[in-house]
Amino acid sequence: MRKVTKKGTQTKQGGTDVSLRLALAQINGRVGGFKANAEKIKSACAQARKMGADIVLFPELIITGYPPEDLLFKKSFIKNCRETLKKIAPYTRSLTAVIGFSEQKGKHLYNSAALICDGKHIGTCRKTLLPNYGVFDEMRYFTEGDEPVRFSLKGAQIGLTICEDIWEESGPGKTLSKEVDFILNISSSPFHKGKGKARRQMIIKRAKSYKCPIAYVNLVGGQDELVFDGQSLVVDAKGKIITQGNSFEEEIIFAEVTLSPKKRKSVAKGIRSYRAPASLSKAKIKKVPQLPACVYRQKSEEEEVYSALVLGTRDYMHKNGFSKVVIGLSGGIDSSLTAAIAVDALWSHNVIGVLMPSPHSSKGSIDDALALAKNLDIKTFTFPIESAMKSYDSILKDAFKRTMPDLAEENLQARIRGNLLMALSNKFGWMVLTTGNKSEISMGYCTLYGDMAGGFAVIKDVPKVLVYELCHWINREREIIPENVLTKEPSAELRPNQKDTDSLPPYDLLDPVLLRYIEQDLSIEDIKVAGLSKTEIQRIARLVDLNEYKRRQGPPGVKITPKAFGKDRRLPITRS
Protein backbone atom coordinates (compact mmCIF):
# COMPACT_ATOMS: atom_id res chain seq x y z
CA MET A 1 0.00 0.00 0.00
CA ARG A 2 2.86 2.32 0.69
CA LYS A 3 5.02 2.85 -2.35
CA VAL A 4 8.47 3.95 -1.26
CA THR A 5 10.05 5.90 -4.08
CA LYS A 6 13.73 6.56 -4.01
CA LYS A 7 14.65 10.19 -3.85
CA GLY A 8 15.99 11.54 -7.11
CA THR A 9 13.64 9.64 -9.40
CA GLN A 10 12.67 11.71 -12.45
CA THR A 11 8.96 12.42 -12.64
CA LYS A 12 6.88 12.84 -15.77
CA GLN A 13 6.67 16.58 -15.22
CA GLY A 14 10.42 16.74 -15.26
CA GLY A 15 10.65 17.47 -11.52
CA THR A 16 11.87 15.11 -8.87
CA ASP A 17 9.67 12.78 -6.86
CA VAL A 18 9.71 13.53 -3.18
CA SER A 19 8.98 11.02 -0.51
CA LEU A 20 7.65 12.41 2.77
CA ARG A 21 7.20 10.47 5.93
CA LEU A 22 4.34 11.66 8.14
CA ALA A 23 3.36 11.14 11.74
CA LEU A 24 -0.23 11.95 12.65
CA ALA A 25 -0.41 12.45 16.40
CA GLN A 26 -3.97 11.39 17.17
CA ILE A 27 -3.76 12.26 20.84
CA ASN A 28 -6.12 12.93 23.73
CA GLY A 29 -5.73 16.50 24.97
CA ARG A 30 -7.06 18.22 28.06
CA VAL A 31 -8.78 21.58 28.08
CA GLY A 32 -6.50 23.90 30.03
CA GLY A 33 -4.02 21.05 30.47
CA PHE A 34 -1.03 22.91 29.05
CA LYS A 35 1.51 20.80 30.88
CA ALA A 36 -0.10 17.46 30.09
CA ASN A 37 -0.64 18.43 26.47
CA ALA A 38 2.98 19.56 26.14
CA GLU A 39 4.14 16.21 27.51
CA LYS A 40 2.07 14.35 24.93
CA ILE A 41 3.45 16.55 22.17
CA LYS A 42 6.98 15.87 23.38
CA SER A 43 6.42 12.14 23.40
CA ALA A 44 4.80 12.15 19.94
CA CYS A 45 7.72 14.17 18.53
CA ALA A 46 10.17 11.67 19.95
CA GLN A 47 8.29 8.78 18.35
CA ALA A 48 8.04 10.64 15.06
CA ARG A 49 11.77 11.30 15.07
CA LYS A 50 12.52 7.70 15.87
CA MET A 51 10.48 6.61 12.87
CA GLY A 52 12.26 9.03 10.56
CA ALA A 53 9.22 11.26 10.05
CA ASP A 54 9.60 14.53 8.15
CA ILE A 55 6.34 16.04 9.37
CA VAL A 56 4.37 15.52 12.55
CA LEU A 57 0.79 16.80 12.76
CA PHE A 58 -1.12 17.62 15.94
CA PRO A 59 -4.85 18.32 16.32
CA GLU A 60 -6.48 21.74 16.22
CA LEU A 61 -5.95 23.78 19.41
CA ILE A 62 -4.11 20.86 20.98
CA ILE A 63 -2.15 23.19 23.24
CA THR A 64 -5.22 24.66 24.94
CA GLY A 65 -7.39 21.57 24.52
CA TYR A 66 -10.61 21.70 22.54
CA PRO A 67 -13.03 23.40 22.90
CA PRO A 68 -11.59 25.90 25.38
CA GLU A 69 -14.81 27.98 25.34
CA ASP A 70 -14.78 31.14 27.48
CA LEU A 71 -11.40 30.25 29.00
CA LEU A 72 -10.16 32.05 25.89
CA PHE A 73 -11.31 35.31 27.49
CA LYS A 74 -8.78 34.92 30.30
CA LYS A 75 -5.52 36.74 29.67
CA SER A 76 -3.62 34.17 31.72
CA PHE A 77 -5.00 31.36 29.59
CA ILE A 78 -3.71 32.94 26.39
CA LYS A 79 -0.40 33.67 28.06
CA ASN A 80 -0.15 30.05 29.14
CA CYS A 81 -0.80 28.96 25.59
CA ARG A 82 1.90 31.26 24.22
CA GLU A 83 4.45 30.09 26.77
CA THR A 84 3.64 26.44 26.19
CA LEU A 85 4.15 26.89 22.49
CA LYS A 86 7.58 28.38 23.18
CA LYS A 87 8.42 25.56 25.55
CA ILE A 88 7.56 22.81 23.13
CA ALA A 89 9.36 24.28 20.11
CA PRO A 90 12.65 22.51 20.95
CA TYR A 91 10.83 19.16 21.03
CA THR A 92 10.48 19.38 17.26
CA ARG A 93 14.22 19.00 16.63
CA SER A 94 14.84 17.69 13.09
CA LEU A 95 11.08 17.65 12.42
CA THR A 96 8.50 19.91 10.83
CA ALA A 97 5.60 20.10 13.28
CA VAL A 98 2.15 21.59 12.75
CA ILE A 99 0.57 22.35 16.11
CA GLY A 100 -2.82 23.89 16.86
CA PHE A 101 -2.82 26.84 19.26
CA SER A 102 -4.69 30.01 20.05
CA GLU A 103 -2.86 33.05 18.71
CA GLN A 104 -3.28 36.55 20.10
CA LYS A 105 -2.38 39.40 17.76
CA GLY A 106 -3.32 42.82 19.04
CA LYS A 107 -7.01 42.69 19.89
CA HIS A 108 -7.60 39.66 17.69
CA LEU A 109 -7.58 36.03 18.64
CA TYR A 110 -7.04 33.37 15.98
CA ASN A 111 -7.52 29.63 15.85
CA SER A 112 -4.07 28.93 14.42
CA ALA A 113 -1.58 26.28 13.45
CA ALA A 114 2.06 26.90 14.31
CA LEU A 115 4.56 25.73 11.75
CA ILE A 116 7.59 24.74 13.78
CA CYS A 117 10.66 23.50 11.95
CA ASP A 118 13.61 21.99 13.74
CA GLY A 119 12.81 23.91 16.92
CA LYS A 120 11.94 27.20 15.28
CA HIS A 121 8.42 28.64 14.96
CA ILE A 122 8.75 29.88 11.37
CA GLY A 123 5.15 30.52 10.38
CA THR A 124 1.50 30.48 11.32
CA CYS A 125 -1.70 29.53 9.54
CA ARG A 126 -4.98 31.05 10.73
CA LYS A 127 -8.28 29.23 10.41
CA THR A 128 -10.40 30.90 7.75
CA LEU A 129 -13.78 29.23 8.11
CA LEU A 130 -15.04 29.52 11.68
CA PRO A 131 -17.95 27.21 12.50
CA ASN A 132 -20.67 28.94 14.50
CA TYR A 133 -23.45 26.35 14.28
CA GLY A 134 -24.39 23.19 16.14
CA VAL A 135 -22.07 22.85 19.14
CA PHE A 136 -19.64 25.41 17.73
CA ASP A 137 -19.26 29.02 18.85
CA GLU A 138 -16.01 29.93 17.13
CA MET A 139 -17.13 33.40 16.01
CA ARG A 140 -17.59 34.20 19.68
CA TYR A 141 -13.84 33.96 20.11
CA PHE A 142 -11.90 34.09 16.91
CA THR A 143 -11.20 36.42 14.00
CA GLU A 144 -11.12 34.79 10.57
CA GLY A 145 -7.77 34.28 8.90
CA ASP A 146 -7.62 35.87 5.47
CA GLU A 147 -4.63 34.28 3.78
CA PRO A 148 -4.01 30.64 2.91
CA VAL A 149 -0.62 29.39 4.02
CA ARG A 150 1.87 26.98 2.46
CA PHE A 151 5.46 26.02 3.10
CA SER A 152 8.14 24.32 1.07
CA LEU A 153 9.95 21.25 2.26
CA LYS A 154 12.27 18.97 0.27
CA GLY A 155 11.24 20.81 -2.89
CA ALA A 156 7.51 20.21 -2.40
CA GLN A 157 4.91 22.86 -1.59
CA ILE A 158 2.63 21.93 1.27
CA GLY A 159 -0.58 23.74 2.20
CA LEU A 160 -1.98 24.13 5.70
CA THR A 161 -5.66 24.09 6.68
CA ILE A 162 -7.54 23.84 9.95
CA CYS A 163 -10.67 21.69 10.39
CA GLU A 164 -13.63 23.59 8.83
CA ASP A 165 -11.29 25.02 6.18
CA ILE A 166 -11.49 21.73 4.33
CA TRP A 167 -15.19 21.04 4.84
CA GLU A 168 -16.13 23.58 2.19
CA GLU A 169 -15.09 22.80 -1.35
CA SER A 170 -14.63 26.51 -2.08
CA GLY A 171 -12.61 27.11 1.10
CA PRO A 172 -8.91 27.95 1.37
CA GLY A 173 -8.03 24.42 0.28
CA LYS A 174 -9.23 25.29 -3.21
CA THR A 175 -6.89 28.28 -3.52
CA LEU A 176 -4.06 26.22 -2.08
CA SER A 177 -4.67 23.19 -4.27
CA LYS A 178 -3.44 25.07 -7.33
CA GLU A 179 -0.21 26.05 -5.63
CA VAL A 180 0.75 23.05 -3.55
CA ASP A 181 1.55 19.35 -3.89
CA PHE A 182 0.04 18.27 -0.60
CA ILE A 183 -2.57 19.59 1.84
CA LEU A 184 -2.42 19.08 5.59
CA ASN A 185 -5.43 19.52 7.84
CA ILE A 186 -5.43 19.59 11.62
CA SER A 187 -8.82 19.06 13.23
CA SER A 188 -10.77 18.66 16.42
CA SER A 189 -13.91 17.24 14.89
CA PRO A 190 -16.45 15.77 17.31
CA PHE A 191 -18.21 12.47 16.81
CA HIS A 192 -21.76 11.56 16.10
CA LYS A 193 -23.19 8.37 14.63
CA GLY A 194 -22.02 8.15 11.02
CA LYS A 195 -19.66 11.12 11.30
CA GLY A 196 -16.50 9.07 10.73
CA LYS A 197 -17.80 7.79 7.42
CA ALA A 198 -19.05 11.23 6.34
CA ARG A 199 -15.71 12.79 7.20
CA ARG A 200 -13.74 10.12 5.33
CA GLN A 201 -15.93 10.54 2.25
CA MET A 202 -15.55 14.31 2.39
CA ILE A 203 -11.77 14.07 2.50
CA ILE A 204 -11.67 11.58 -0.35
CA LYS A 205 -13.95 13.85 -2.39
CA ARG A 206 -11.81 16.86 -1.63
CA ALA A 207 -8.56 15.08 -2.57
CA LYS A 208 -10.08 14.07 -5.89
CA SER A 209 -11.48 17.46 -6.78
CA TYR A 210 -8.34 19.27 -5.62
CA LYS A 211 -6.21 16.59 -7.33
CA CYS A 212 -4.02 16.70 -4.26
CA PRO A 213 -3.14 14.25 -1.48
CA ILE A 214 -4.46 15.17 1.96
CA ALA A 215 -3.26 14.25 5.45
CA TYR A 216 -5.87 14.77 8.13
CA VAL A 217 -5.28 14.47 11.87
CA ASN A 218 -8.12 14.47 14.38
CA LEU A 219 -8.32 14.74 18.15
CA VAL A 220 -9.38 11.80 20.27
CA GLY A 221 -11.04 11.85 23.70
CA GLY A 222 -14.02 13.05 25.69
CA GLN A 223 -14.65 16.64 26.76
CA ASP A 224 -17.90 17.30 28.60
CA GLU A 225 -20.67 16.43 26.16
CA LEU A 226 -18.36 15.94 23.19
CA VAL A 227 -16.29 12.95 22.23
CA PHE A 228 -13.66 13.08 19.50
CA ASP A 229 -13.18 9.92 17.54
CA GLY A 230 -9.77 10.30 15.90
CA GLN A 231 -9.90 8.31 12.63
CA SER A 232 -7.12 10.45 11.22
CA LEU A 233 -6.24 9.56 7.68
CA VAL A 234 -4.03 10.10 4.68
CA VAL A 235 -5.39 9.89 1.13
CA ASP A 236 -3.59 10.22 -2.16
CA ALA A 237 -4.56 12.57 -5.01
CA LYS A 238 -6.93 9.96 -6.39
CA GLY A 239 -8.74 9.69 -3.07
CA LYS A 240 -7.25 6.33 -2.21
CA ILE A 241 -6.72 5.84 1.52
CA ILE A 242 -3.02 5.39 2.30
CA THR A 243 -3.49 4.88 6.00
CA GLN A 244 -6.06 5.48 8.70
CA GLY A 245 -6.09 5.83 12.48
CA ASN A 246 -8.49 3.85 14.61
CA SER A 247 -11.59 5.31 16.19
CA PHE A 248 -11.60 6.30 19.87
CA GLU A 249 -7.97 5.30 20.38
CA GLU A 250 -4.93 7.39 21.03
CA GLU A 251 -2.19 6.56 18.54
CA ILE A 252 0.54 7.93 16.35
CA ILE A 253 -0.23 7.01 12.77
CA PHE A 254 2.63 6.84 10.28
CA ALA A 255 2.44 7.12 6.54
CA GLU A 256 4.66 7.75 3.60
CA VAL A 257 3.51 9.78 0.62
CA THR A 258 5.26 10.30 -2.64
CA LEU A 259 4.76 13.67 -4.24
CA SER A 260 5.65 14.78 -7.74
CA PRO A 261 6.18 18.50 -7.20
CA LYS A 262 5.40 20.80 -10.08
CA LYS A 263 7.67 23.77 -10.66
CA ARG A 264 6.08 26.68 -8.84
CA LYS A 265 6.94 30.26 -8.09
CA SER A 266 8.25 30.77 -4.61
CA VAL A 267 5.66 33.51 -4.16
CA ALA A 268 2.06 32.75 -5.13
CA LYS A 269 -0.58 35.44 -5.26
CA GLY A 270 -2.83 35.57 -2.15
CA ILE A 271 -0.90 32.82 -0.39
CA ARG A 272 1.56 33.32 2.42
CA SER A 273 4.61 31.17 1.77
CA TYR A 274 7.20 29.84 4.19
CA ARG A 275 10.28 27.75 3.60
CA ALA A 276 11.46 25.00 5.89
CA PRO A 277 15.21 25.22 6.62
CA ALA A 278 17.35 23.26 4.18
CA SER A 279 18.69 21.12 7.02
CA LEU A 280 15.32 19.36 7.17
CA SER A 281 15.72 18.04 3.65
CA LYS A 282 18.54 15.80 4.78
CA ALA A 283 17.93 12.24 5.86
CA LYS A 284 16.71 12.10 9.48
CA ILE A 285 18.34 8.92 10.61
CA LYS A 286 20.79 6.55 9.05
CA LYS A 287 18.53 3.55 8.74
CA VAL A 288 14.90 4.49 8.09
CA PRO A 289 12.75 1.94 9.93
CA GLN A 290 10.01 0.03 8.21
CA LEU A 291 6.63 1.58 8.96
CA PRO A 292 4.08 -0.59 10.76
CA ALA A 293 1.22 -1.83 8.62
CA CYS A 294 -2.04 0.06 8.75
CA VAL A 295 -4.27 -1.75 11.25
CA TYR A 296 -7.47 0.20 10.92
CA ARG A 297 -10.37 -1.83 12.23
CA GLN A 298 -13.77 -1.04 10.78
CA LYS A 299 -16.45 -0.94 13.47
CA SER A 300 -20.15 -1.62 13.17
CA GLU A 301 -22.46 1.29 13.95
CA GLU A 302 -23.33 -0.22 17.34
CA GLU A 303 -19.69 -0.74 18.23
CA GLU A 304 -18.84 2.79 17.18
CA VAL A 305 -21.57 4.32 19.36
CA TYR A 306 -20.69 2.02 22.23
CA SER A 307 -17.02 3.00 22.01
CA ALA A 308 -18.01 6.68 22.01
CA LEU A 309 -20.06 6.19 25.16
CA VAL A 310 -17.26 4.28 26.88
CA LEU A 311 -14.56 6.82 26.04
CA GLY A 312 -16.82 9.80 26.79
CA THR A 313 -17.66 8.36 30.20
CA ARG A 314 -14.10 7.35 31.04
CA ASP A 315 -12.67 10.74 30.13
CA TYR A 316 -15.36 12.67 31.99
CA MET A 317 -14.53 10.69 35.12
CA HIS A 318 -10.78 10.70 34.88
CA LYS A 319 -10.35 14.25 33.65
CA ASN A 320 -12.55 15.42 36.54
CA GLY A 321 -10.61 13.38 39.07
CA PHE A 322 -13.15 10.61 39.73
CA SER A 323 -12.34 6.93 39.69
CA LYS A 324 -15.52 5.29 40.97
CA VAL A 325 -19.15 5.62 39.97
CA VAL A 326 -22.44 4.59 41.54
CA ILE A 327 -25.53 3.64 39.56
CA GLY A 328 -29.10 2.95 40.64
CA LEU A 329 -30.02 -0.46 39.21
CA SER A 330 -33.73 -0.84 38.59
CA GLY A 331 -33.48 -4.08 36.66
CA GLY A 332 -34.48 -2.12 33.56
CA ILE A 333 -32.64 -1.87 30.30
CA ASP A 334 -31.37 1.71 30.67
CA SER A 335 -29.58 1.20 33.96
CA SER A 336 -28.27 -2.14 32.67
CA LEU A 337 -26.73 -0.53 29.60
CA THR A 338 -25.32 2.32 31.69
CA ALA A 339 -23.69 -0.13 34.07
CA ALA A 340 -22.19 -2.15 31.22
CA ILE A 341 -20.68 1.01 29.72
CA ALA A 342 -19.34 2.06 33.11
CA VAL A 343 -17.65 -1.29 33.60
CA ASP A 344 -16.00 -1.04 30.20
CA ALA A 345 -14.93 2.52 30.94
CA LEU A 346 -13.68 2.04 34.50
CA TRP A 347 -13.47 -1.70 35.34
CA SER A 348 -15.83 -3.63 37.56
CA HIS A 349 -14.21 -2.72 40.85
CA ASN A 350 -14.91 0.97 40.21
CA VAL A 351 -18.62 0.54 39.60
CA ILE A 352 -21.13 0.22 42.42
CA GLY A 353 -24.74 -0.74 41.79
CA VAL A 354 -27.53 0.23 44.15
CA LEU A 355 -30.91 -1.50 44.31
CA MET A 356 -33.62 0.64 45.91
CA PRO A 357 -36.80 -1.39 45.84
CA SER A 358 -40.16 0.10 46.81
CA PRO A 359 -43.41 -1.76 47.43
CA HIS A 360 -44.11 -1.22 43.72
CA SER A 361 -40.93 -3.01 42.62
CA SER A 362 -41.48 -6.46 41.20
CA LYS A 363 -39.43 -9.41 42.33
CA GLY A 364 -38.36 -9.81 38.71
CA SER A 365 -36.76 -6.38 38.71
CA ILE A 366 -34.70 -7.14 41.78
CA ASP A 367 -33.61 -10.49 40.37
CA ASP A 368 -32.72 -8.92 37.03
CA ALA A 369 -30.64 -6.20 38.70
CA LEU A 370 -28.78 -8.78 40.78
CA ALA A 371 -28.20 -10.97 37.74
CA LEU A 372 -26.77 -8.02 35.85
CA ALA A 373 -24.50 -7.13 38.77
CA LYS A 374 -23.28 -10.69 38.84
CA ASN A 375 -22.61 -10.75 35.10
CA LEU A 376 -20.72 -7.46 35.36
CA ASP A 377 -19.00 -8.52 38.58
CA ILE A 378 -19.91 -5.31 40.39
CA LYS A 379 -20.62 -4.72 44.06
CA THR A 380 -24.16 -3.80 45.10
CA PHE A 381 -26.01 -2.18 47.96
CA THR A 382 -29.70 -2.74 48.54
CA PHE A 383 -31.69 0.05 50.19
CA PRO A 384 -35.44 -0.56 50.51
CA ILE A 385 -37.07 2.86 50.43
CA GLU A 386 -40.48 2.21 51.94
CA SER A 387 -39.61 3.74 55.34
CA ALA A 388 -38.53 6.99 53.69
CA MET A 389 -41.69 7.05 51.57
CA LYS A 390 -43.73 6.70 54.74
CA SER A 391 -41.86 9.45 56.49
CA TYR A 392 -42.59 11.91 53.65
CA ASP A 393 -46.22 10.81 53.59
CA SER A 394 -46.50 11.54 57.24
CA ILE A 395 -44.79 14.96 56.98
CA LEU A 396 -47.08 15.90 54.11
CA LYS A 397 -50.24 14.32 55.49
CA ASP A 398 -51.99 17.55 56.43
CA ALA A 399 -50.92 19.45 53.36
CA PHE A 400 -52.04 16.61 51.08
CA LYS A 401 -55.31 15.77 52.81
CA ARG A 402 -58.22 15.45 50.41
CA THR A 403 -55.85 14.73 47.50
CA MET A 404 -55.35 11.44 45.67
CA PRO A 405 -51.89 9.87 45.17
CA ASP A 406 -50.51 11.10 41.86
CA LEU A 407 -47.28 12.25 40.25
CA ALA A 408 -46.24 13.98 43.49
CA GLU A 409 -45.97 10.64 45.31
CA GLU A 410 -44.37 8.93 42.30
CA ASN A 411 -41.72 11.61 42.02
CA LEU A 412 -40.98 11.36 45.73
CA GLN A 413 -39.90 7.75 45.23
CA ALA A 414 -37.56 8.74 42.44
CA ARG A 415 -36.22 11.59 44.58
CA ILE A 416 -35.62 9.38 47.60
CA ARG A 417 -33.52 7.18 45.32
CA GLY A 418 -31.69 10.20 43.96
CA ASN A 419 -30.95 11.32 47.52
CA LEU A 420 -29.58 7.92 48.51
CA LEU A 421 -27.26 7.80 45.51
CA MET A 422 -26.11 11.36 46.19
CA ALA A 423 -25.51 10.48 49.85
CA LEU A 424 -23.14 7.71 48.72
CA SER A 425 -21.56 10.16 46.30
CA ASN A 426 -21.01 12.80 48.97
CA LYS A 427 -19.78 10.28 51.52
CA PHE A 428 -17.38 8.28 49.37
CA GLY A 429 -16.58 10.55 46.40
CA TRP A 430 -18.25 8.34 43.80
CA MET A 431 -19.89 10.05 40.88
CA VAL A 432 -23.54 9.19 40.28
CA LEU A 433 -24.26 8.13 36.72
CA THR A 434 -27.81 8.77 35.60
CA THR A 435 -29.52 6.30 33.34
CA GLY A 436 -32.11 8.19 31.28
CA ASN A 437 -32.22 7.63 27.52
CA LYS A 438 -32.93 10.26 24.86
CA SER A 439 -36.50 9.17 24.24
CA GLU A 440 -37.62 9.62 27.83
CA ILE A 441 -35.59 12.79 28.36
CA SER A 442 -37.22 14.19 25.22
CA MET A 443 -40.67 13.49 26.61
CA GLY A 444 -39.92 14.51 30.19
CA TYR A 445 -40.60 10.94 31.28
CA CYS A 446 -38.10 11.27 34.11
CA THR A 447 -37.96 12.96 37.50
CA LEU A 448 -35.94 16.12 38.12
CA TYR A 449 -33.77 15.64 41.23
CA GLY A 450 -34.84 11.98 41.11
CA ASP A 451 -33.54 9.69 38.40
CA MET A 452 -32.09 12.81 36.70
CA ALA A 453 -29.82 13.47 39.70
CA GLY A 454 -26.18 12.76 39.01
CA GLY A 455 -22.96 13.96 37.51
CA PHE A 456 -23.02 12.36 34.08
CA ALA A 457 -25.88 11.12 31.93
CA VAL A 458 -24.18 8.37 29.96
CA ILE A 459 -26.97 7.50 27.50
CA LYS A 460 -28.90 10.78 27.42
CA ASP A 461 -28.39 11.03 23.68
CA VAL A 462 -29.24 7.38 22.93
CA PRO A 463 -32.82 6.83 21.71
CA LYS A 464 -34.58 3.86 23.30
CA VAL A 465 -34.59 1.72 20.16
CA LEU A 466 -30.83 2.16 19.93
CA VAL A 467 -30.58 1.28 23.65
CA TYR A 468 -32.01 -2.14 22.74
CA GLU A 469 -29.70 -2.50 19.75
CA LEU A 470 -26.65 -1.69 21.86
CA CYS A 471 -27.68 -4.25 24.49
CA HIS A 472 -28.09 -6.95 21.86
CA TRP A 473 -24.67 -6.01 20.52
CA ILE A 474 -23.19 -6.28 24.04
CA ASN A 475 -24.72 -9.73 24.36
CA ARG A 476 -23.38 -10.83 20.95
CA GLU A 477 -21.03 -13.44 22.43
CA ARG A 478 -22.39 -14.14 25.88
CA GLU A 479 -25.22 -12.88 28.03
CA ILE A 480 -24.20 -9.79 29.95
CA ILE A 481 -27.51 -7.96 30.02
CA PRO A 482 -29.91 -10.61 31.36
CA GLU A 483 -32.27 -11.86 28.69
CA ASN A 484 -35.29 -10.96 30.81
CA VAL A 485 -34.21 -7.30 30.84
CA LEU A 486 -34.36 -7.29 27.04
CA THR A 487 -37.73 -8.98 26.74
CA LYS A 488 -39.90 -7.60 29.54
CA GLU A 489 -42.08 -4.54 29.02
CA PRO A 490 -40.44 -1.28 30.13
CA SER A 491 -41.85 0.18 33.35
CA ALA A 492 -40.84 2.91 35.80
CA GLU A 493 -42.49 0.88 38.63
CA LEU A 494 -43.57 4.00 40.50
CA ARG A 495 -47.15 2.74 40.94
CA PRO A 496 -48.75 -0.72 40.76
CA ASN A 497 -48.72 -2.26 37.26
CA GLN A 498 -47.32 0.87 35.63
CA LYS A 499 -46.02 0.52 32.05
CA ASP A 500 -44.14 3.06 29.93
CA THR A 501 -46.86 2.65 27.30
CA ASP A 502 -49.41 4.07 29.78
CA SER A 503 -47.81 7.46 29.11
CA LEU A 504 -45.81 7.05 25.91
CA PRO A 505 -46.39 5.58 22.44
CA PRO A 506 -44.40 2.41 21.72
CA TYR A 507 -40.75 3.33 21.32
CA ASP A 508 -40.49 2.06 17.75
CA LEU A 509 -43.10 4.67 16.81
CA LEU A 510 -41.94 7.38 19.20
CA ASP A 511 -38.27 7.39 18.18
CA PRO A 512 -38.88 8.22 14.50
CA VAL A 513 -41.05 11.18 15.55
CA LEU A 514 -38.40 12.44 17.96
CA LEU A 515 -35.72 12.07 15.29
CA ARG A 516 -37.72 14.21 12.89
CA TYR A 517 -38.83 16.79 15.42
CA ILE A 518 -35.61 17.20 17.40
CA GLU A 519 -32.71 16.22 15.17
CA GLN A 520 -34.15 17.32 11.83
CA ASP A 521 -36.18 20.30 13.13
CA LEU A 522 -39.16 19.28 11.03
CA SER A 523 -42.48 21.00 11.63
CA ILE A 524 -45.29 18.94 13.11
CA GLU A 525 -47.22 19.04 9.82
CA ASP A 526 -44.23 17.57 8.00
CA ILE A 527 -43.87 14.60 10.33
CA LYS A 528 -45.57 11.43 9.23
CA VAL A 529 -45.02 8.12 11.01
CA ALA A 530 -47.18 5.14 10.18
CA GLY A 531 -49.21 4.07 13.21
CA LEU A 532 -49.42 7.50 14.80
CA SER A 533 -52.19 10.02 14.28
CA LYS A 534 -51.61 13.75 13.77
CA THR A 535 -52.95 14.31 17.31
CA GLU A 536 -50.46 11.86 18.78
CA ILE A 537 -47.61 13.50 16.91
CA GLN A 538 -48.76 16.90 18.14
CA ARG A 539 -48.85 15.61 21.69
CA ILE A 540 -45.30 14.28 21.39
CA ALA A 541 -44.00 17.61 20.05
CA ARG A 542 -45.85 19.48 22.78
CA LEU A 543 -44.27 17.29 25.47
CA VAL A 544 -40.81 17.80 23.98
CA ASP A 545 -41.34 21.58 24.09
CA LEU A 546 -42.83 21.62 27.59
CA ASN A 547 -39.98 19.63 29.10
CA GLU A 548 -37.16 21.91 28.03
CA TYR A 549 -36.95 23.17 31.66
CA LYS A 550 -36.17 19.67 32.89
CA ARG A 551 -33.44 19.06 30.36
CA ARG A 552 -31.76 22.32 31.32
CA GLN A 553 -31.21 20.96 34.80
CA GLY A 554 -29.92 17.59 33.73
CA PRO A 555 -26.25 16.59 33.79
CA PRO A 556 -24.15 16.48 30.60
CA GLY A 557 -23.75 13.26 28.65
CA VAL A 558 -22.09 11.96 25.50
CA LYS A 559 -23.35 13.38 22.20
CA ILE A 560 -23.77 10.53 19.71
CA THR A 561 -26.44 11.93 17.36
CA PRO A 562 -26.22 14.87 14.96
CA LYS A 563 -28.24 16.96 17.43
CA ALA A 564 -27.97 16.29 21.15
CA PHE A 565 -29.57 18.14 24.03
CA GLY A 566 -26.99 20.68 25.15
CA LYS A 567 -24.92 23.21 23.22
CA ASP A 568 -26.31 21.71 20.04
CA ARG A 569 -29.87 22.75 20.63
CA ARG A 570 -30.54 26.14 22.17
CA LEU A 571 -34.21 26.53 22.72
CA PRO A 572 -36.00 28.94 25.03
CA ILE A 573 -37.79 27.47 28.04
CA THR A 574 -40.36 30.26 27.87
CA ARG A 575 -42.30 30.13 24.61
CA SER A 576 -45.85 30.36 23.41
* Closest CB to a copy of itself among residues 67, 463: 67
Side chain identity, residue 359: P
Cα–chain center distance at 443? 25
User: Could you say which of 10, 391, 501, 503 contacts a copy of itself (CB under 8 A)?
Assistant: 391
User: Could you say which of 4, 198, 285, 407 contacts a copy of itself (CB under 8 A)?
Assistant: 407
- Of residues 455-514, those binding a copy of itself (CB under 8 A): 455
For the purposes of burial, counting CB atoms within 10 Å of the CB of 194, is it exposed (0-12), middle (13-18) or buried (19 or more)? middle
24 in Cβ contact with 255 (< 8 Å): yes
Which of these is catalytic: 40, 127, 438, 550? Answer: 127
399 near a copy of itself, judged by CB under 8 A: yes
Choose the stretch contacting a copy of itself; rule: CB under 8 A; options: 93-101, 255-263, 300-308, 519-527. 519-527
Rounded to the nearest whole angstrom, what is the least distance from the CB of residue 385 to a copy of itself in the complex? 7
Q: What whole-number distance in Å separates Cα of residue 440 and Cα of residue 85?
A: 46
In the residue annotation, 563 being an active-site residue is answered as: no
How many Cα atoms within 13 Å fall on the side-chain side of residue 151?
25
**What does the DSSP 8-state code read for residue 97?**
E
Which of these is catalytic: 163, 212, 294, 446? Answer: 163
Q: What whole-number distance in Å separates Cα of residue 503 and Cα of residue 500?
A: 6
User: Could you say which of 150, 314, 415, 559 contacts a copy of itself (CB under 8 A)?
Assistant: 415
Total residues contacting a copy of itself (rule CB under 8 A)? 85
- Of residues 361-390, those binding a copy of itself (CB under 8 A): 381, 383-385, 387-388, 390
Rounded to the nearest whole angstrom, what is the least distance from the CB of residue 187 to a copy of itself in the complex? 19
- Of residues 31-50, those binding a copy of itself (CB under 8 A): 31-36
Write the binding mask 114 to 133 for a copy of itself: x where contact by CB under 8 A, - elsewhere: ------------------xx
DSSP 295-363: ------HHHHHHHHHHHHHHHHHHHTT---EEEE--SSHHHHHHHHHHHHHH-GGGEEEEE---TT--H
Choose the stretch contacting a copy of itself; rule: CB under 8 A; options: 75-83, 152-160, 251-259, 467-475. 75-83
Strand segments (E) across 465-531: none
316 near a copy of itself, judged by CB under 8 A: yes
* Closest CB to a copy of itself among residues 273, 330: 330
User: Could you say which of 2, 5, 47, 69 contacts a copy of itself (CB under 8 A)?
Assistant: 69
End-to-end Cα spacing for the chain: 60
* Closest CB to a copy of itself among residues 331, 418: 418
Report which of 553, 560, 540, 545 is spatially closest to residue 462, judged by C-alpha positions.
560
Q: What whole-number distance in Å separates Cα of residue 192 and Cα of residue 461?
A: 10
User: Could you say which of 118, 137, 168, 303 contacts a copy of itself (CB under 8 A)?
Assistant: 137
170 near a copy of itself, judged by CB under 8 A: no
In the residue annotation, 127 being an active-site residue is answered as: yes
Rounded to the nearest whole angstrom, what is the least distance from the CB of residue 257 to a copy of itself in the complex? 35
37 in Cβ contact with 63 (< 8 Å): yes
Write the binding mask 218 to 257 for a copy of itself: x where contact by CB under 8 A, - elsewhere: ----xxx---------------------------------
Is beta strand 456-457 parallel, antiparallel or unpaired with respect to 431-434?
parallel
Rounded to the nearest whole angstrom, what is the least distance from the CB of residue 106 to a copy of itself in the complex? 17
Strand segments (E) across 424-472: 431-434, 456-457
Q: What whole-number distance in Å separates Cα of residue 89 and Cα of residue 337?
A: 45
Sequence-distant (6+) residues with CB within 8 A of 522 are: 516
Rounded to the nearest whole angstrom, what is the least distance from the CB of residue 243 to a copy of itself in the complex? 31
Q: What whole-number distance in Å separates Cα of residue 327 and Cα of residue 174?
A: 51
User: Could you say which of 202, 241, 366, 524 contacts a copy of itself (CB under 8 A)?
Assistant: 524
Catalytic residue numbers read 60, 127, 163
